[in-house]
C-alpha cells in the first residue's frame, strides 16, 4: 500500500497502562518546547486545581480536534452532542473556536454576543453565565475569542483555564464536547488539558491523514506535562464518498494504523450538513429521519459503547 508511506511514524496506540497518576510536575511546562513562550514564574506557584471528588458523577469531557480546518469538527461537535441528548444524556457543547461556527450553527450571532468563552478563560467569568440553552447547552464564542491566546499567554496557569472553568459544571452534565479551532495553539491545548479524551474527525483524504502525526505529538506532550489521562479515544472518518477508491484507501490506511480507534460509522458526504446550520439547527432537527442524522446517532452509540467498555475495564 503506497499511501501508507505517508504515515511512517504512526503506531497504533498501545493498550493504556494503568496510570499511577503521578503528581503533576509543577515545572514540567518549562521542558515542553512548544509550551514555553512565556517562562513559568518561579515564585507565585500556580494554585492547584480543585480536586474532583472521587466517585462523583462527572461529565465525560471530550475535545473534538484536528488542526486542519474543514474536516467537520464543528459539525461533529454539534450533531454528536444533539444525538447524545436525544439518548437522554445531559450535554454541554463548548465553542472554543474564535470563528464561532458552533455558536452560529445554533442560530446565534457571535458578533452580537456580549460575554463568551473569552470572558470565561481570561476574566474567569463563571461558565454558567455564558451558557445558552438551544438544542443542547452551548457555551458560546464571540469574536474576541481571537484575542484569547494572546491574553492567556501572559497568565499563570494559562493551559488550565478551561479545566478550572469546568469544575463548576462538571457534575451537571454527562458529556461536555469541546469544539476547537484549526490549530494546535493555546486554546486547543486548554481543551486537551480539560479533556478525558479526544475524538478526531478526519476527512477521508490522505493529505488529511498526515496531520494526525502532529496531533498525536502534541497530545503526547500534553500527557507528559499537563494531563496524563488524555488520549485519542476515537477517529471519525468524515465526508466519506464510498464511490471513490481514494476514500476507501484512506479508510484502509486509517484502520491499518489506528485499528479499533477508528469508529465503524462513516459520516458520508452530503449537503445536508451544510444546509442545517443555515437554519440554525443540527441535522438531527433539520432532517430528523434522513441518513445524515442517522449517521450521528450511530456515532453517538459507538461513543457510548466506548465509554461503557472503559468503565467495565
Q: Give the residues lining the site for ligand ADP (CB under 6 A).
A: 69-75, 101, 182, 238-239, 267, 269-270, 273-274
Residue 136, exposed/middle/buried by CB under 10 A (0-12, 13-18, 19+)? buried
Task: Select from ligand ADP, Mg ion, none the partner in contact with residue 264, using the beta carbon and a kind-dependent cut-off of 5 to 8 Å.
Answer: none
Dig out the grid coordinates for 162 from the structure.
478551561
Give the interface size with Mg ion as a residue count (CB under 5 A).
3
Determine, following the binding rule CB under 5 A, whether residue 101 of this chain makes contact with Mg ion.
yes
Q: How far is the CB of 180 from ligand ADP (least distance, A)?
A: 9
* Rounded Cα distance, 93 and 217, in Å: 25
Question: Which residue, 76 or 190, has its beta carbon nearer to ligand ADP?
Answer: 76
Task: Select from ligand ADP, Mg ion, none the partner in contact with residue 269, using the beta carbon and a kind-dependent cut-off of 5 to 8 Å.
Answer: ligand ADP
DSSP state of 271: T
Phi, psi of 306 (to 5 degrees): -60, -45
Task: Select from Mg ion, ligand ADP, none the partner in contact with residue 267, using the beta carbon and a kind-dependent cut-off of 5 to 8 Å.
Answer: ligand ADP
Task: Select from Mg ion, ligand ADP, none the partner in contact with residue 274, using the beta carbon and a kind-dependent cut-off of 5 to 8 Å.
Answer: ligand ADP
Task: Select from Mg ion, ligand ADP, none the partner in contact with residue 190, using the beta carbon and a kind-dependent cut-off of 5 to 8 Å.
Answer: none
Q: Where are the alpha helices (DSSP H) in the chain?
A: 73-86, 101-105, 117-123, 148-153, 161-167, 186-194, 206-225, 245-258, 272-278, 283-286, 291-312
Do 120 and 165 touch, CB atoms closer than 8 A? Answer: yes
Residue nearest to Mg ion according to CB distances in the complex? 74
Taking residue 1's Cβ as centre, other Cβ atoms within 10 Å add up to 9
- Residues in region 33-92 near Mg ion by CB under 5 A: 73-74
Binding residues for Mg ion, rule: CB under 5 A, are: 73-74, 101
Amino acid at each position: 500500500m503506497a499511501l501508507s508511506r505517508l504515515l511512517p511514524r504512526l503506531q497504533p496506540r498501545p493498550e493504556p497502562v494503568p496510570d499511577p497518576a503521578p503528581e503533576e510536575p509543577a515545572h514540567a511546562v518549562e521542558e515542553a518546547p512548544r509550551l514555553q513562550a512565556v517562562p513559568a514564574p518561579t515564585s507565585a506557584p500556580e494554585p492547584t486545581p480543585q480536586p474532583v471528588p472521587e466517585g462523583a458523577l462527572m461529565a465525560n469531557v471530550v475535545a473534538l480536534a484536528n488542526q486542519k480546518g474543514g474536516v467537520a469538527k464543528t459539525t461533529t461537535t454539534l450533531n454528536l452532542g444533539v444525538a447524545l441528548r436525544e439518548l437522554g444524556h445531559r450535554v454541554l457543547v463548548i465553542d472554543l473556536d474564535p470563528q464561532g461556527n458552533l455558536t452560529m450553527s445554533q442560530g446565534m450571532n457571535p458578533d452580537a454576543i456580549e460575554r463568551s468563552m473569552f470572558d470565561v478563560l481570561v476574566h474567569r467569568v463563571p461558565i454558567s453565565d455564558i451558557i445558552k440553552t438551544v438544542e443542547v447547552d452551548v457555551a458560546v464564542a464571540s469574536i474576541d475569542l481571537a484575542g484569547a491566546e494572546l491574553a492567556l499567554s501572559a497568565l499563570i496557569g494559562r493551559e488550565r483555564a478551561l479545566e478550572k472553568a469546568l469544575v463548576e459544571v462538571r457534575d451537571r452534565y454527562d458529556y461536555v464536547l469541546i469544539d476547537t479551532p484549526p490549530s494546535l495553539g493555546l486554546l486547543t491545548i486548554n481543551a486537551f488539558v480539560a479533556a478525558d479524551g479526544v475524538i478526531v474527525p478526519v476527512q477521508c483524504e490522505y493529505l488529511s491523514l498526515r496531520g494526525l502525526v502532529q496531533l498525536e505529538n502534541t497530545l503526547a506532550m500534553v500527557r507528559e506535562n499537563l494531563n496524563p489521562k488524555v488520549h485519542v479515544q476515537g477517529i471519525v472518518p468524515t465526508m466519506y464518498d464510498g464511490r471513490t477508491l481514494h476514500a476507501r484507501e484512506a479508510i484502509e490506511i486509517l484502520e491499518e494504523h489506528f485499528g479499533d480507534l477508528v469508529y465503524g460509522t462513516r459520516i458520508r458526504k452530503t449537503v445536508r450538513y451544510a444546509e442545517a446550520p443555515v437554519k440554525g439547527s443540527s441535522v438531527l432537527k433539520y432532517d430528523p429521519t434522513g441518513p445524515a442524522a442517522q449517521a450521528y446517532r450511530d456515532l453517538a452509540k459507538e461513543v457510548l459503547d466506548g465509554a461503557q467498555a472503559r468503565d467495565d475495564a
